[in-house]
A and B are shown apart, each in its own frame.
Chain A
Amino acid sequence: MTYLSIENVGISFTRNGRTNEVLRDVSVKIARGEFVSLIGHSGCGKSTVLNIVAGLLKASTGVVLLEDKEVNSPGPDRAVVFQNHSLLPWLTVRENVSLAVDKVMKGRKTKAERNEWIDHNLALVNMTHAAERRPNEISGGMKQRVGIARALAMEPKVLLLDEPFGALDALTRAHLQDSLMEIHGRLGNAVIMITHDVDEAVLLSDRIVMMTNGPSATVGEILKVDLERPRRRLELVEDPTYTHARAEVLEFLYARHAKPAVAA
């Protein structure tokens, strides 16, 4: 029962006549409602994988199938939360969400229903109080929450998150991870999340896709995280399944696929 299927995807970029193979033979199958993390060293090609699934980049080889249909252009069924929030600074928080809702839900919902839906999604990420503020008037964590609300409001089949909490302090990050788990538990979208944080990956994911280092990066190993949901971070600290999963990922990243020392 594969929902989203990334099949033998490879991509090369040509610049100044030199071809650089970034990904080779990346294959991942994701079920409906599954939460999958993508982890790997910086520059290995995680964002590139995500952009291919989003349709923002074209794979040189292989295909991405969503419900057995080939994905070849961007669309709201694969909403992206970008690495740096990318809210439009000239719009208020509410207008940022409504730009997406009005575009995607036009024809499906009346104006009143759309307004209600916007409010609902802002409430989902606890941003109702700042709805009329502009992105430069709110904190980094709040921006990230609005980015998530904008993506969720499109009712995507797949939610794509590119290091959604990368630039945040540990407390805000923990808080947003909890919200994300809670929202995912309620809505049951398939999620692909890129992260650098081993704890985040283990805490949130059903499976963790570990990527080898580039060039020609590929899937090194896929780890299943067999933990009951809902998960509570405090209870997991001592859980043997949790600590074991954590150790596996660390082992992969720092022993078997350590980042080659930067030659400079």
Chain B
Amino acid sequence: MATTSTIGVTAPGIAAKAAEKAPRAPFITAASLRGMAANLIPPVVVMIAFLVIWELLCSRPGAGLPPPSRVVTEAWDIIVNPFYDNGGTDKGLFWHISASIQRVALGFALATVVGILVGTLIGQSDWAMRGLDPIFQVLRTIPPLAWLPLSLAAFRDGQPSAIFVIFITSIWPIIINTAVGIRNIPQDYRNVSAVLQLNPIEFFSKIMLPSAAPYIFTGLRIGVGLSWLAIVAAEMLIGGVGIGFFIWDAWNSSHISEIIVALVYVGVIGFILDRFVAFIGNLVTRGAAA
């Protein structure tokens, strides 16, 4: 501002332009820095406090769990080498995690396709909705692992059984939310489609899916969370490569520090999956909530 006013005497036009632009010029302003700090400082402070308390509590002799300092030194190998592969199940965390994510991706993708189709069919009919809703409400409360023996009996193999557990765990919220979304399609949109004489396929893709999308994504978000809960537990039982098995294996070899590192990974991946689905949902449903 001070500079523009001195130029202003000789070249008022330029000065006015410079003054106009001035507020936009700096990318990082003091205000935006303060805003960032306000968001960053509390979690960092809480995190440090948590680690300090943990360190203090677990440093005394006879403590059941290792303090964070020992976790880092003991598990240093697996922290810095996530990509090693010694064959069999002796692999870095990256490989375990990616095996788990693949199972979730497959089971969840199946659940998404089947769940949306079934939800759409059910949402169309009052009768089906009334008849099936109580059954779904019961089925959806069955804990994921309770399905495992049944699916092992059916598939006689760990891999498809784990995927089936993901599928059956995550499909209920998808079906239920899709059906509710379809039922809530405003009569107005149906009228528009009737006047335009949309055929059933056009109606499905151009009216039903977009209109029900916010509901569908609520279901998908719940579903992906449940999938991740289920896969860790299922892998503990079926073995093979996977983060659940890794944790179970570490427990059997009393590597508590490795378990703690693995838990951090599980938490972070679960968080990322949730945010990923929410992000896609925001992209797709942009504007749909008018």
Contact = CB atoms under 8 A, between A and B. Distances in A.
Interface of A: 54-56, 73-76, 78-80, 82, 84, 86, 88-90, 99-100, 103-104, 134-136, 154
A248 to B, nearest CB: 33
A136 B285 CA distance: 13
A163 to B, nearest CB: 14
Contacts of A75: 195, 197
Interface majority SS on B: helix, strand, loop or mixed? helix
A74 B189 contact: no
Interface string B174-201: 0000000000001011011011111000
Contacts, number: 62
B65 interface: no
A136 B290 contact: yes
Contact of B290 (A82, A89, A99): A89
Contacts of B211: 88, 90
6 contacts: A74-B197, A75-B195, A82-B191, A86-B186, A88-B210, A90-B210
B196 A100 contact: yes
Nearest to B202: A103
Nearest to B188: A86
Interface in B82-102: none
Contacts of B206: 99
Contacts of B192: 82, 86, 88
B195 A78 contact: yes
Interface of B: 186, 188-189, 191-192, 194-198, 202, 206-207, 210-211, 213, 285-290
Sort A-B residue pairs by CB-CB distance and give the 7 closest, nearest first: A89-B290, A136-B290, A86-B188, A74-B194, A134-B287, A90-B210, A90-B288
A112 B14 CA distance: 46
A185 to B, nearest CB: 24
Contacts of A80: 191, 195
A152 to B, nearest CB: 13
A90 B196 contact: no
Contact of A134 (B195, B213, B290): B290
Query: Most chain-A CB neighbours within 10 Å: which of B186, B192, B207?
Result: B192
Contacts of A135: 287, 290
A76 B210 CA distance: 22
Given A56-B191, A82-B191, A103-B202, A89 B289 contact: yes
Contacts of B196: 76, 99-100, 103-104, 154
A134 B286 CA distance: 10
A99 B206 CA distance: 9
Contacts of B286: 90
Given A78-B195, A103-B196, A86 B189 contact: yes
Contact of A89 (B194, B197, B288): B288
B51 to A, nearest CB: 45
